[in-house]
Amino acid sequence: MMLRRMDSMMVSFEMTETLLAVALTLAAFVCLFDRHLLRATLCFIGFALLLTLAWWRLATPWLALAELLLGAIVSGASLLFALGVLPTGAALKPRHDRFPVPLSHGVTRLALSVLWLVLMAAGVRHALPAMALSPSEEPLLIAAGVWVACALGAFALHRHLLRRLLAFNVLGSGVFVLLAGMAGPMLAAQLLILVGLCIAALGTLLGALLIRRLYHLEGLEALDPDIDKTVAQ
Amino acid sequence: MTTLLFVLALLWPLAVAALTLAARLSPRPEKAPGVASDLSLRFSRVFRPFSWLWVSASWPALLLAVSGEARWQWEGFMLGGLWELTPLTRPWLLFTALLWTLAAVHAKGYFKGDLTADFKDETLPERSASAEKRRGTFVLALFWPLAFAGNALLILAQDIASFYFGFALMTFAAYPLVVQAATQEAWRGGRVYLILAVMGEAFILAGLLWAAGAAETLTLSGVREGIASADAGIWMALLLFVGFGVKAGVVGLHVWLPLAHPVAPAPASAVLSGAMIKAGLLGWINVLPLGDVSTQGGLVALGQGILAVGLIAAFAAALYGVWQRHPKAVLAYSSISQMGMLTALVGVGLVTPEVWSLLWPAVALFAAHHALAKGALFLGTSISEHSPRWPVPLLWALLALPGLSLTGALAAGMVSKWSFKSALYEAEHALLIKLLTFAAIGTAALMSVALWRQWQRRQVGGSDGYQQGGWLLALAAALTAPLWLPLPQASPVPPLKEWWGLVWPLLAGVFMVACAVALLHRRRGRLPPAGDAWWLYAVAARALYRPLAQVGERLARMKQACVELALKWERRAMAAVQRCLFAEAWLRHHVGGLMMALALVLAALLMWEGGDFWPGR
Amino acid sequence: MNWRWGWEAATFAPEPGESWALLAALVLPLMLGGLAALRPPRRAWVVLLAALPLLASGAALFQAVQGVALLTWSVSFDDVTLALRLNGVAALLVVVTQLIGVVAALYTAGLCRLDESAGRSRWLWPLWGVLLSSLSVIWLAADLLSLYLGLELMGLTAVGMLLLSGKAEALLAGLRYLLVALVGSLLYLLGVALILAHWGSLELAQLTEVVAPEPVAWLAAALLGAGLATKAALFPLHAWLTPVHASAWTPVSALHAALVVKASLYLLLMLWSLLIPESHVAPLLLGLLGALAIVWGSLAAWRADSLKTLVAASTVAQLGYLMLAFPLLLGPEMAPEVQTLAWQGFWLQLLGHALAKAAMFMAAGNLILATGESTLAGLAGTSRRLPLSLLVFGIASVTLMGLPPSAGFTAKWQLLQAMLLADLWWAIAALLLGTLLSAAYVFRLFRYSFIESAPRKTYRPLAPGMEGGALLLALAALLLGLWAHYPLSLLQGASA
Amino acid sequence: MNAAWLPLLALATSLVAAAVIFTLPERAWRLRTAINLAAAIAKIALVVLMVRRIADGIEDTLRFQVIGGVDFVLRGDALGIMFAGLSSLLWLCTTLYAIGYLGRSPNQKRFFGFFGLCVTSTFGIALADNLFTFLIFYELLTLSTYPLVVHKGTPDALNAGRIYLRYTVTAGVVLLLGVAMLYSLTGDHSFSSERGLAPYLDDHRGLLTLIFALLVGGLAVKAAMVPLHGWLPRAMVAPAPVSALLHAVAVVKAGAFGILRVIYDLYGIELSVALGVMTGLAVAASITILYGSLRAIAQTELKPRLAFSTISQVSYVVLGVSLFGPFGTIGALAHLLHQGLMKITLFFCAGSYAEELGIHRIDELDGAGRRMPLTSVAFTLGAFGMIGLPPTAGFITKWYLGIGAVEANMLWVVAVLVASSALNAVYFLPLIYRLWFRPAPTESGKAWPNEQRHGRLETSAWLLWPAVFTAAISLGAGLFAGLPYSPLEWATRVAVEEYLP
C-alpha cells in the first residue's frame, strides 16, 4: 500500500496514517514506561487494537484479524491474567513496578535506544533508498522504528516481569510493522508476520502463565531478586 | 675337556654357594621334627657350611690351573666372553686357587665352634649376640665360594665384561668375609672397605669405558693397545691405576687394609691379603701397556710416578706399620709395603718396557710367594691365638718362617727377590735395586713386630687339625713356590755372592726392632691407630660434607619457600576467579542490554569495515 | 562457501523414496510424540521399536546424500518459496539429532518408570516430537521463512520442555529463557526484514546470487548475529543458559545443550556466510568472544558446586571453540585449505560436543538420580557404586577435554591446523588453555568420586536404558574422532 | 604378506579384556583373574609372533584414515616391538602381582579395567607409526593411569592424582601443539619413512628447533626429567603394582620412548645433530641423572627413594639418545628394557615388604632379608642392576652408554655415568646392608611394623614369584646379553637399522 503510493512521487501527507502512528507511539510509550501495571496493560490492549486498525489500513486484512485475535485478545487476556485481573483471585498485589532504576542503567539504556534508532534508520534507509526522499510519507515505518528502539531499551531496563513481557510485545509489533513497511505486500512478509504474531501470542501466554505461577510459588516479580546482593559482593 | 673344566671352575663355586643356601633353607630337624625327611636331613648335613663339599669350591679351578693353558670363547656371555689361561694367568690362578683351598681348610677348623653353634638350641640367654655372630659365619660361608668365583673369573677373563664382573663379584662378596665378627670394629672395617671399593669400582669403570670406547674393543688386550696408542692414554691409565690401586693398596688408597684385615677372621684375612689384593695387581698388568715398547712419553711419566708411589708405600707402610698393636694390622701394613714393591715393579714395566718380558715372571713369582706367605702369616695369627701343644720353639719358628721368606732371606722369598733383582740389573736400575733392598729392612722389621705382637697375644689350646693343616700346607707351599709355580722358565737361584745382599736387610730389620723394643718398651705412649690416613680422610670428608649439607638444606628451604609462594598465588588466583565469577550474575541480568550492544557493535564494525559508516557513500 | 552449504542447483532430482524418507524424518517425530502422549511408553524396547522407522528415515537420507551429495525440494506459491535441501551437513545433523533424540526418549522412558513426577511427563512426548521435527526443519531448510518457523517452534518447545520439571528455579530460568529467546527471534526477524526488503527473496540459493557487500547485508548480519548469538548462548550473552540446564529434567537438558543451542549457532554461521563472507572484523569479534567464552565457561565450570551447573557451564566453553572457528571460516583472505580445515573442525566439534554433552547430561542425571545429591561434594565415593555412569561421564568428558581419540580431539586438531596456517596465535592459546581448564573441571568430579572415606549411602537403582543409551552416545563421540574421515568426506559436498 | 590383524589383535587383547572386566560384576574374582591372565598370555604370544615376523623382515601394518592427510597407523617395527614386548611381559607379571597384592580389597574391577587400558595405551604408543597415532595413545595413557594413581582414594592419593594430572595434561597440551605445528609444516610423517625432515632444515631451522623443544618438552614430563619430575615421587601413593608399572613401563617409559621416536624416527639423528639440540638434551639428561640420585639419597622412605632413582635412571635412555653414535643408541634402547625389568623388580619387592611386614621406611628394613630371603635376593639383584654392577642388565647398558659417550667425544658424560653409579651405590648399598646384615627387630623382641602372614612361603606366592621372575630376567638379560633375542641383541639390530639405512 505504502509502496504503491510511492509511484505517484508526490509529496503528500497521510493524515490518517500519521495520526495512527502518533496514537500508537503514545500508547506504546505509556505501555512501556508507565509504572502502573494495569494502566500499562490496558494501554497495550489499546495499542493492539490501534494496530489492528493499522493493518486494516495497510490492506492486510488477514494480519488485522490475526492482530485482533492474537494480539489484542489472547495477549491482552494473558497479560490481564498475569496481573490477576481476569479471573478474579490472587492478584499481583503491588500493581506498581517498585523496582528502583539506577541512574547508570537508565542512561545506558537510553543511549542504547538512541543508537538503535540510528541503526533502524540506517537499515531502513539502505533497504529502501527511495524513502530517503520522502521520509514523511511513511509515518508508520518511522513510528515502528521508534517502538523497536524504545521497546528494546525498555526490555533491557525493566526488571518487573510483566513490564518486560509488555516490552517484548511492543517490540514484536514494531518489528512486524517494520517488516511490512519495508517488504511491502509480499506474501512472504505476511507469512513471516503471521508466524511471528502466533509465536508472540503463544509466548505471551506462556509468559503470563509463568509469571502467575512464579508469583504464586515464590512471590517473585523479577528474574533476579538477589541481583543487587550478588553484584554488591 | 678344558671347556668343561672352565665351566666347572667358574660354576662350581656358585653351585656350592647355592647348595649351602639351600641346605640352610631346607627344614631343620630340630625346628620341625616331623617335616624333615631323612633325605633332607642328609642333604643339609652334606651341604652344610664348612663341609668338604664347601671346601671343594676352589678345586676345579685348581685342576684347571694345573692342567695347562687353555682358552674358551662364548659370544653369548654378557658382551662376549673370552676366558684364557695365559702363561701369566695360569700360575696366578694356581696360587690363588691354592691359597683359597688352604684357607678354606683352615676355615673348616677355625669356624668349627660357630658351626656347632649354628645348630645349637635357640633358647640361650645371650641369644641375640651369638645369633648375630652365627649368622655372620653363615653368611661368610655363603659368600666365600662366591668371592672365590669372582677371583677365579677375573683371573681367567680376557674380555672386559667378565673381568669387571669377576672383580665386582669378588669385591662385594668379600664384604661378608670382613664383617663376620659383627663387632663395632668389624662394621667399621667393612664400611671403609666398601666405601673404598665403590670408589675403586667407579675409577675402574671410568677408565675401562674410556679406554675401551677409544679403542672400540671388548678385550683386555685391546685396552692395553688402546691405552698405548691413545693420545689421552696417560689419563686412562691413571684412572685405571687408581681404580685397581684401591684393591692393591697403593699408598693413599690403602686405608681399608689395616682396618679391614684385623677385624676379619684369619682365613678371610688370608685370602683378602693374599689373593684378592693381587687382583689389583693383575688388573694393572691386564690393562696397563706394560712392556709395550711403543709407549709414549706420558705413560713413561706415569710409570715414574707409579714407581715413586710404590717405593713410598714400601717404606712408609713399614715405618707406620711397626707401631701397630694388632698383629694382623702389622701384617696388613706389611702387605701394603710388599704391594708397594710390586707397584714399583709395575712402574718399571712402564718406564722401561723392554725389561718387562724378563720382569713379569718375577712379578708373578713375587705375587705367588707373597700371597702364600702372607696367607700363612695370617693363618698363623689364629694358630698363635689357639696354639697347639707343640714345642714352643718349633711352633714359633714355623710361625716366623713365612716372614723370613718374605724378607728374601731364604727359600722362595730369596728366589723371588733375586729373580726381579736380576731382571732389574739387566735394565741397570741400580738405584731401584738399592731402594728395594732397603725396603726389605722394613719388611724384616714388620715381620719381627708382627711376631712379637703375636707372642704378646699367644694363647694355648682350642685349635683344630684342619686349622693347623691348612696353615702348614700354606707355609710349605709358600716356601716352595718357585718349584711348583708353572712359569715359562725356572726361576734362577741367586748365586752365593749375592746371598749377603739378600740377607743383611733381615738382620738389620730385626736388629732395629730389637733396639726399638729395648728402648721404648718402658714408654707408655699412644700408638698410632690403624688405618692412618683414613682418619684424616674422614675428617676431611666431614668438613667437606658440612657445607654441602648446608647448601642442600638451604636449597631445600628455598624450594619449600617457592612452593609456598606458588600455593599462595594459587589461592589468591582462585579467590580472584571466584570474585570474577560473580560477574556471571551481572551478565545474566543484562542480557537484553548486551544483546543491543552486540548488535550495535557488530553493525558499527561492519559498516566501518565496509567504509560506509554513516550516512551514505 | 555456497557449495558447502548446498546453495546450488542439485544435479539429480530426488527419487520418490528419498522424498518419503524426508517426509518421514520431518513428520514421524510429531506422530510418535503424539502417540506417546496418548500412551506414555515405559519400557526401553517399546521406545526402541517405535523409533526404528525414524532412525531408518535418517539412515535413508544419509544413504541418499552419500550417492548424490545434494538434493533439493521446493514448493512455491505466489512469491513464497519453501525450500529444503539435503547435503552432507544436513544429513549428518539430522542423523545425530535423531540419534540423540531417540536416546533421550529411551532415557525419558526409564525416568518415567522410576515414577518421577509422572503427571507432567506425559507432556514431554509431544514437545519432544515437535522439537525433533523443528530441528530437522532447521537443518534442512533453505529459505528464511522455514528457518524462522523452525527456529520459533524449536524455541517455544524448548522452553516448554524446560518448564516441565515444575520447580521454582526451573520456572524462573525458563521464563528468562523465554523472554530472551523471543526477543532474539525478533532481532532475527528484523534482519530477515532487511533482507526481504532489499533483495525481495527469502530463498537462500537465490540470495547467494544477489547478495553483495553493501550496508544492508552488514546491518542484517549484525541484527541476525545479535539475535542468534543470544539464542545460541554465545559469550557474553550466555548467562541464561546455566540455570536453565541446571534445573531442567535430565533428558531435556541433554537435548537442549546438545541440539537446541547448536541450531541457532548453525543459523548464525550459515547466514553470516551468506551475508558477510568477506568480512574480517565481525568473525574476528566473534572469535575473540569465543576465546573469552572458553576461559570464562571453563572457569565457571571449574568453580561450580553442582554437577549440572558444571556440565552446563562447560557448554558455554565448548561453544567458544565453535566461535573460534568463525574467523577461520569467514574472511577476505582465508586460504581455501584453512577454510576446509576449519569447516571440518567446526562440524566435528559440533557433532562431537552434541553427542558427548547429551551423554554427559544423562550420566550426570543418573548420578544425581541415584544418589539424590546434586552437589559435587555429595557425589563423593560414587566410583564404587556407580562405575558405569562415571565411565560414561568420563568418556564424554574425553571429548569435552579434546583428548584423543575423541571427536573433540580431532576437531581441535583440525582447528589447530587451520589456526597454525592462518597464524592465529591467540586462538591457539585459547584452544590449548581450554583443554587445560576443561581437564581441571572434569577431573574435579572424578576427584570427588574416588574418595573412599565417604559415608555409605543407599543408592536408587536405575532403569535399564538410562545408562546404555548414554554409553552409546559417549562411545559414538569417542569413535567419531577416530573414524572422522568418513563423516567429514560427506561435508565436502559435491565438489570434493 | 602384511597381516594388519596382528597389531590390531595384539592391541585388542588388553582392550577387550579391559572392556569385559568393566562389564563384569565386582565379585567375579575368579573370572576376572582368568580373563586378565588369558589376555596377558595371549598378548605375549602375539608379541612373540610379531617378533618372529619382524626378524623375518615383515612389518605388519594397520592403517586407516582418520581425517584428510592424517592416518592412524600401527606398525610392528623392531623398535616398537621392543617396548611392546616389555609392556606385555611386564603386564603379565604385574597382573599376577596385583592379584596377590589387592587380595580381596574393593574396587578391583576399576583397577584391572584401567590397568588393561593402561597397557593398551602403552602398546599403542609402542606400535604407533606416526606422531598422530602416538599422541592418541599418549593421552589415553594419561587418562587411564589417573584412576590407578588415585586408586586408594585417600586425600594423599587424590592430591597426588591432581598433581599428576596437572603435569601430564599440560605436557599433553604442549605436545599437541608441537605435533600440530609439525603436521602443519610437513604433513603426515611416518616413523618408518626414510625421508627425514632434512629438506626443511634450510628454510625452517628455527621452527624445527621450536617444534623439537615442544615435542621433547611435552614428552619429558612423562619421562620425569628435571625440573618436570615433580609428579613422580608424589604418585608413589598409588598401590605397589601401579607404581611398578608406572615406573617400569607405562608412563615414564612412554615419555622416554617418545623422545626416542622423535629423535630417531622423526627428526633423524643427523638432523638433530645439525640442529644442535643433542648437547642440550644430553646436559638436561645428565642433570636429571645426578639430581635424581642426590635426591634419592635424601629420602627416608623406600618408595620415594625408588621413585627418585627412577627419575635418575630413565634419563639414561635420554642420555643415550642424545649421544650421536650407534653405541649410545644401543645403550638407550637396551636400557629401556633393562631399567624396566630392574625397576619393576624393586617395586615388586618394596610392595611385598609393605604388604608382608608393613615396611615403608628404610630403617625398618633391618633384617628383612632373612625373613623374606627370595624377595630380598630379587631386591638385591635389582639394586645391583641399578648401580650398574655386572653381570646384571644395568651394567650392559651403562657400558654401552659409556662407550657411546666416548665415541661421541663427550667424556663428561662418562664422568656423569660413573658419578651416577657411585651415587646409586650410595643409596642402594645401605638398603642391602640393612636387609642382610642388620638384626631383625624380632631378634631384640620387637615386632615388624605390621606383619601379615600371607602364605606358606615368605609371602604370598602371587607377590613372590613375579619379583623373582623379573629379577631373574634382569640378571639373565645381563648375563646372556650376547644371545640372540636378548634385549641387547635386539637393540643392536634396531641401532644398525637406524644408522645403516
Domain boundaries, chain A: 14-94+106-232
- For residue range D392-413, list pLDDT tens digits in order: 889 999 999 999 999 888 889 9
Q: Which of B108-117, B216-225, C75-84, C453-462 has the lowest mean pLDDT?
A: B108-117
Reply yes or no on whether the pLDDT at B616 is more than 50: no
**A228 pLDDT band (50/70/90 cuts)?**
very low
Predicted TM-score (pTM) of the model is 0.90
- Who's near C22: CB < 8 A, 6+ residues apart? C14, C57, C61, C73, C84, C86, C140
Residue B613 pLDDT: 52
Q: Using an 8 Å CB-CB cutoff, list chain D residues near C398.
A: 143
Q: Least CA distance to A145: which residue of chain C?
A: C190
Reply yes or no on whether the pLDDT at D10 is more than 50: yes
- For residue range C136-177, list pLDDT tens digits in order: 999 999 889 999 999 999 999 999 988 888 888 888 888 889
Q: Using an 8 Å CB-CB cutoff, list chain D residues near C381.
A: 153
| Residue recorded with cell 731364604 | B410
Reply yes or no on whether the pLDDT at B399 is more than 60: yes
Question: How many CB pairs below 8 A link A and C?
Answer: 128
Closest chain A C-alpha to B599 CA, distance in angstroms: 9
- For residue range A89-98, list pLDDT tens digits in order: 555 566 777 7
Name the region of B411 (left: φ>0; alpha: ψ -120 to 50; beta: rest): left
Reply yes or no on whether the pLDDT at D79 is more than 70: yes
Distance spanning both ends of chain D, measured CA to CA: 22
CA distances from D131 to D182, D199, D275 (A): 9, 19, 20
Reply yes or no on whether the pLDDT at B38 is more than 90: no
Residue C135 pLDDT: 94
**A182 pLDDT band (50/70/90 cuts)?**
confident
Please give the angle made by the CA atoms of B457, B461 and B463, to the nearest 5 degrees: 100
DSSP D493: H
**B435 pLDDT band (50/70/90 cuts)?**
confident
Distance CA D479, CA C237 (A): 70
Q: Least CA distance to C454: which residue of chain D?
A: D153
**D234 pLDDT band (50/70/90 cuts)?**
confident
Q: Using an 8 Å CB-CB cutoff, list chain C residues near B588.
A: 176, 239-240, 243
**What phi and psi values does residue D61 have, to the nearest 5 degrees?**
-130, 135
CA distances from C254 to A3, C244, C470 (A): 48, 11, 10
- For residue range C203-262, list pLDDT tens digits in order: 888 888 888 888 888 999 999 999 999 999 998 898 889 888 888 888 899 999 999 999
Substitution target from D66, D74, D114, D188 for chain C, most C beta carbons within 10 A: D66
Reply yes or no on whether the pLDDT at C493 is more than 70: no
D398 and D410 Cβ atoms separated by less than 8 Å: no
> Is C186–A155 a contact, with Cβ atoms under 8 angstroms apart?
no
Provide the mean pLDDT of chain A: 80
- Residue B120 neighbours by CB distance under 10 Å: 14
- Classify residue B369 by burial, with Cβ atoms within 10 Å: 0-12, 13-18, 19+: buried
| β partners of residue C86 | C71
Measure the CA dihedral C113/C114/C116/C118, to 10°.
Answer: 30
Residue A1 pLDDT: 43
**C115 pLDDT band (50/70/90 cuts)?**
low
Residue D381 pLDDT: 92
C-alpha cell belonging to residue C449: 568420586
Going by beta carbons, is chain B in contact with chain C, meaning 3 or more pairs sit under 8 Å apart? yes
Of the candidates C468, C390, C392, C358, the one whose C-alpha atom is nearest the C-alpha of residue C48 is C468
Provide the mean pLDDT of chain D: 88
> Is D396–B198 a contact, with Cβ atoms under 8 angstroms apart?
no
C178 in contact with A, Cβ within 8 Å: yes
Higher pLDDT, C214 or D443: C214
Distance spanning both ends of chain C, measured CA to CA: 12
> Is B205–D388 a contact, with Cβ atoms under 8 angstroms apart?
yes
Residue D122 pLDDT: 92
**D249 pLDDT band (50/70/90 cuts)?**
confident
> Is C183–B585 a contact, with Cβ atoms under 8 angstroms apart?
no
Reply yes or no on whether the pLDDT at B325 is more than 80: yes
Reply yes or no on whether the pLDDT at B169 is more than 80: yes
> Is C226–B598 a contact, with Cβ atoms under 8 angstroms apart?
yes
- For residue range D95-144, list pLDDT tens digits in order: 999 988 888 788 888 889 999 999 999 999 999 988 999 999 999 998 88
D417 in contact with B, Cβ within 8 Å: yes
Q: Which of C191-195, D90-94, D323-327 has the lowest mean pLDDT?
A: D323-327
Distance spanning both ends of chain A, measured CA to CA: 56
**B515 pLDDT band (50/70/90 cuts)?**
confident
C31 in contact with A, Cβ within 8 Å: no
Reply yes or no on whether the pLDDT at D455 is more than 80: no
Cis bond before residue B27 (omega within 30° of 0): no
Provide the mean pLDDT of chain B: 84
D397 and D316 Cβ atoms separated by less than 8 Å: yes
Provide the mean pLDDT of chain C: 87
Residue A7 pLDDT: 45
Distance CA C426, CA C414 (A): 16
Reply yes or no on whether the pLDDT at B35 is more than 70: no
Per-residue b/e over D256-268, b at no fewer than 16 CB within 10 Å? bbbbbbbbbbbbb
- For residue range D303-322, list pLDDT tens digits in order: 889 999 999 999 999 999 88
| Residue recorded with cell 559417549 | C474
Residue A122 pLDDT: 85
| Residue recorded with cell 542504547 | A112
**A225 pLDDT band (50/70/90 cuts)?**
low
| Chain D touching partners, 3 or more CB pairs below 8 A | B, C
Distance CA A145, CA A178 (A): 7
Q: Using an 8 Å CB-CB cutoff, list chain C residues near A179.
A: 189-190, 192-193, 196-197
- The chain C residues in contact with chain D (CB within 8 A) are 340, 344, 381, 383-384, 387-388, 391, 394, 398, 401, 403-405, 409-410, 412-414, 416-417, 420-421, 428, 432, 435-436, 439, 443, 446-447, 450-453, 481-485, 488
Q: Using an 8 Å CB-CB cutoff, list chain A residues near B596.
A: 112-113, 115-116, 152-153, 156
Residue A92 pLDDT: 56
> Is C282–B602 a contact, with Cβ atoms under 8 angstroms apart?
yes
Q: Indicate the residue of A112, A125, A230 with minimum beta-carbon distance to B582.
A: A230
C-alpha cell belonging to residue C190: 528484523
B602 in contact with A, Cβ within 8 Å: no
DSSP A221: -
Q: Least CA distance to B80: which residue of chain D?
A: D482
Distance CA B32, CA C223 (A): 95
Average pLDDT over residues B6-24: 86
Per-residue b/e over D469-500, b at no fewer than 16 CB within 10 Å? bbbbbbbbbbbbbbeeebbbbbbbbbbeebee
Reply yes or no on whether the pLDDT at A147 is more than 50: yes
Q: What percent of chain A has pLDDT over 70?
A: 83
- Who's near B397: CB < 8 A, 6+ residues apart? none
